[in-house]
A and B are shown apart, each in its own frame.
Chain A
Amino acid sequence: MSSRRPVVTGLGIITAAGCGVSAVWDALRTGRSGLGPLTLFASPRYGSHQVGQVRAEVDQLAGDARGSRSDKLAWIAAREAIRQSGLAAPLAGARADRAAVLLGTTVAGILGTETMLDRLLRKQRHSFIPARYHECASATDLCARRFGARGPTATFSTACSAGALAIATAAELIENDEADVALAGGADSLSRLTLNGFGSLLLLDAEGCRPFDAARAGISLGEGAAMLVLEADETARARGARILARLSGWGASCDATHPTAPDAQGGGAAAAMQQALERGGLTPLDIGYVSAHGTGTPDNDVMEARALRRVFGDAAPPFASVKRFFGHTLAASGAIQAVVCVQALREQAAPGNLGFEKMDPQIGLEPSRGFQSRRLQHVLSNSFGFGGNNVVLVFSNAGSDPVSAAVRRPRRPSAMPLAVLGAGLVSAGGHTMAGVRNALAQGGATPSWLELAAPFPLGRMRGYTCGDIGANEAIPAARRRRLGHLQQMALLAAKRSLPQGLPAWLAPDRVCAAIGTGLGCLGETAAFVENMLVNEERAPLAGRFANSVHNACASQLAIEFNLRGLNSTSTHREISFEAALWHGANELRQGRADMALAGAADELSPYAQAVGERWGWWDGNAPAIRPFGRELKGRRRPLPGEGAAVFTLVRDGQGPPPLARLRSVRFGRFAAPAGGPPEAQGEAAWIRETLERDGVALASADLLLTGASGWPPWDDACREVASVLSVLRGRELNCGAYKQACGEHYSASAFGFFVALGLVRGEIEPGLCLAGADTGARPPRTVLLYTLAPGGSHALCCVCA
């Protein structure tokens, strides 16, 4: 029996129905809904709606933790979970290196951003501080810093299934032996964007949601956070931790045919449930209770009932949605349900479906009505998101015997080489390998001026824009009219990586897509928010809202190529791409997918550029990027850019001769003094350990390709890492850079991966990446793509000829 099986040792939760596991459980036991009036902000249109607003004093509870409301909710839940686990935070030493933090969020810090933009629009005094906490990664980094984690740290934004995806991903990392302990969950605050957004889709029930009821009319929006401490069975036992439950199964599928509507027949949802059961070595009969997604929208509940019937036949176990207790907490909902499920196993009792009165003949199933004692061995939890992103978790009693899973896992998955079959690019430096080579030969791409649109008075700036990306020829007008700029870039990159479309031998459910995006479709989001603020919530733009979700790119790929495997969107600053690549690679290595589309995309929208500048990430008035050039002094930051790159990967040995091989991909956190670059010795050791783990000799590396962008402390850090590695192996390791051809942006390392492919294929001379230096004509055979994020993350990919 694998003792790497994940177990739960800590729970934390904060919701409208209470703060802390015992308060929330009390609300569930006594049938007390947390829905109530909206007082967090004024909403001219939806102010009278019932919402699941957290009533506790969030700022006070968060103590000295700084961040957005979502960040604070996340930390409050995380702190409770860590306390229960008995782990000492911050962790230290080897335990810290083996600790992961994975968080799902959708709304992130938008609530503060809205307030900031509102004041900006009214020409009132405002601070740009909320923008600093706007990003999805903000909550994750806060929790990781305070937990002291230095293992894999990533953020996922697959809309309403993100919290569940974070938990499932934590389980993968633990089973893979890439982490021993993981803090995983989800957090989302209420916001005007989501309230108006769901309003624009006519999906809000002003009176409060009634999941599965005949008269249901939509969701109630809620907010909250929930976190789990997950550990490998063996390490939890070794430290004498109390095991609360086992996470015995998880499954993910995609059924995107439409940006917001689910597959009416419930095929994708059923597939995810079946996968989760199979992973746990369970049959439908083993499940004693289902925590349903049950949002209360007419479509979701019919679909979910169909999916339940597909999996369980006419003998569906008792099921209930807790949405009437908490509201729909979006990315937090899957994690909140996970906490409810673990607590149900511990208490041998389960909550009922508040808000249900009358059976809908279209649904034909009646949910469990009241709180009831039950004999529970295994419980299942459903989470479904926009873009058909479905994730299902199965929890089992701590005392239950782990059934030998039907799914075999490779012994050292991270060491399994993968083949890169295709590469597609949209960038300021061109959209082909030849174009990128020429841009590098000219010392970089040419930045252009960007006009910042009214009504936000944010000035005029420069950046590396992609110009004509060729969307008019490649995407039919009927399709293009509904896509934002970011989605068009991502779709084009994907099409270029798969010029012939998907090979016929591939089954759609064996293809996964994992796309990174640091900021998501901020252009679309800003357009929605701008319309909302200017028109005082009249006439909200439904199409813009559907495009504003971070997973709008990955779900467009699923729609375009009919992909039915895992559909993941990672949103963790500069390492968004590497986390996505890891996710795609892991699906291949575990044998769940036969092809992975992995990539990243970020756009240079006026709003992102202006606000990003004020955070101090990039600078629209800087000179053109010259890596290692030492030209940026003081508060000057690199020029921003944009672009998308998507790669198609298979297991090595499958398909036609590959472009190159991926030998290693890893992401994590480094230790460094507040906000500064890491110290080179530790980084070099981390790189060497990663390569050793994955069976690559450090001696074989020819080039360290870095994200150096002319920002001295970070450029110096990259160069020092290369020189320490040189000493370690007793031979010079060259240090290169690529951002001069794509600009500073969160998806730049995907462009770097494209350059790495060109280098090992001999299509880009190594001298072109070395800021003037020339090291001879021999093409490198092994390139290390090394990425640092000022938030504290680092990542490494090893690309070989």
Chain B
Amino acid sequence: MQLPTDELKNKIIKALNLDKITPADIQDDQPLFGGGLGLDSLDALDLVSMLERDYGILIQDMESARQAFATYRTLEDFVQRNRR
């Protein structure tokens, strides 16, 4: 099932308190971390929390999430495949 447009982006913005960022600023194929958004490993953990709360996806270690967290597009695919 397709996620509603910008739903995940809005959730990322809210979870990470990205004040001045709009969904359009999160480009689908840019790296999520270490890129223009200025996100780091602690943000990744806050995303892990958001995925659990909002999509029921439980991530036990960052190694297994590394690929999913590569870009926005990989994360969206991951959420669509694993959401409960």
Contacts and interface: CB of A to CB of B under 8 A. Distances in A.
A541 B60 contact: no
B52 A481 contact: no
B75 interface: no
Nearest to A201: B45
B20 A477 contact: yes
A540 B53 CA distance: 9
Chain A interface size band reads 20 to 34
B4 interface: no
A546 interface: yes
Given A202-B62, A261-B41, A543 B46 contact: yes
Given A538-B53, A540-B49, A258 B40 contact: yes
A19 interface: no
Contact of B42 (A260, A478, A480): A260
Contacts of B46: 541-543
B25 interface: no
A533 to B, nearest CB: 15
Contacts of B59: 202
**Residue of A258, A260, A481 with most chain B CB atoms under a 10 A cut-off:** A481
B12 interface: no
Contacts, number: 46
Contacts of A478: 38
Overall SS of chain A's interface: loop
Interface in B12-68: 16-20, 38, 40-43, 45-46, 48-50, 52-53, 59-62
A335 interface: no
A217 interface: yes
Contacts of B62: 202
Contacts of B45: 200-202, 542-543
Given A540-B49, A541-B49, A482 B42 contact: yes
Interface in A514-572: 535, 538-543, 546
A648 to B, nearest CB: 28
A482 B49 contact: no
Given A202-B45, A546-B42, A539 B50 contact: yes
Interface string A190-202: 0000000000111
A538 B49 CA distance: 8
Contacts of A477: 19-20
B42 A543 contact: yes
B30 to A, nearest CB: 16
B16 A539 contact: no
Contact of A202 (B16, B20, B61): B61
A677 interface: no
Interface in A186-214: 200-202
A217 B49 contact: no
B25 to A, nearest CB: 12
A268 interface: no
Nearest to A535: B53
Nearest to B47: A542
A539 B52 contact: yes
A757 B18 CA distance: 39
A266 interface: no
A654 B48 CA distance: 49
A430 interface: no
Interface residues of B, number: 21
A225 B19 CA distance: 43
B36 to A, nearest CB: 10
B20 to A, nearest CB: 5
A3 B41 CA distance: 49
A538 B52 contact: yes
B42 A542 contact: yes
Given A202-B62, A477-B19, A481-B16, A258 B41 contact: yes
Nearest to B65: A202
B9 to A, nearest CB: 16
A482 B37 CA distance: 13
A542 B53 contact: no
A176 to B, nearest CB: 39
Interface string A256-283: 0011110000000000000000000000
A542 B59 CA distance: 13
Contact of B48 (A217, A542, A546): A542
B53 A258 contact: no
Interface in A452-485: 477-478, 480-482
Contacts of B50: 539
A535 to B, nearest CB: 7
Given A259-B42, A260-B42, A261-B41, A539 B61 contact: no
Given A217-B61, A481-B18, A539 B53 contact: yes
Interface in A226-282: 258-261
Contacts of A535: 53
A258 B61 contact: no
A541 B16 CA distance: 11
A97 to B, nearest CB: 46
Contacts of A260: 42
Interface string A391-408: 000000000000000000
Interface in A643-669: none
Nearest to A481: B17
A202 B60 contact: yes
Contacts of A481: 16-19
**Residue of A202, A260, A478, A538 with most chain B CB atoms under a 10 A cut-off:** A202
Contacts of B20: 477
A541 B40 CA distance: 15
A335 B15 CA distance: 38
A228 B53 CA distance: 45
A481 B17 CA distance: 5
B62 to A, nearest CB: 6
A170 B12 CA distance: 46
B48 A202 contact: yes
A320 B84 CA distance: 44
Nearest to B19: A477
A260 B45 CA distance: 12
A100 B71 CA distance: 55
Contacts of B40: 258
Contacts of B16: 481
A481 B62 CA distance: 23
Nearest to A540: B49
Given A481-B17, A482-B17, A258 B52 contact: no
A415 B69 CA distance: 57
B49 A539 contact: yes
A713 B18 CA distance: 49
B45 to A, nearest CB: 3
Contacts of B60: 202
B35 to A, nearest CB: 12
A217 to B, nearest CB: 7
A543 B50 CA distance: 12
A202 B62 CA distance: 8
Contacts of A217: 61
A541 B46 CA distance: 6
Given A477-B20, A481-B17, A535-B53, A258 B48 contact: no
A178 to B, nearest CB: 39
Nearest to A541: B49
A649 B17 CA distance: 35
Contacts of B42: 258-260, 482, 542-543, 546
A359 to B, nearest CB: 20
10 contacts: A202-B59, A202-B60, A261-B41, A477-B19, A480-B19, A481-B17, A481-B19, A538-B53, A541-B49, A542-B46
Given A258-B41, A539-B52, 11 more contacts: A202-B60, A202-B62, A258-B40, A480-B19, A481-B16, A481-B17, A481-B18, A482-B42, A539-B50, A539-B53, A543-B43
Interface of B: 16-20, 38, 40-43, 45-46, 48-50, 52-53, 59-62
Please name the 3 residue pairs, one residue from A and one from B, whose CB atoms are nearest each other, closest first.
A542-B45, A539-B53, A481-B17
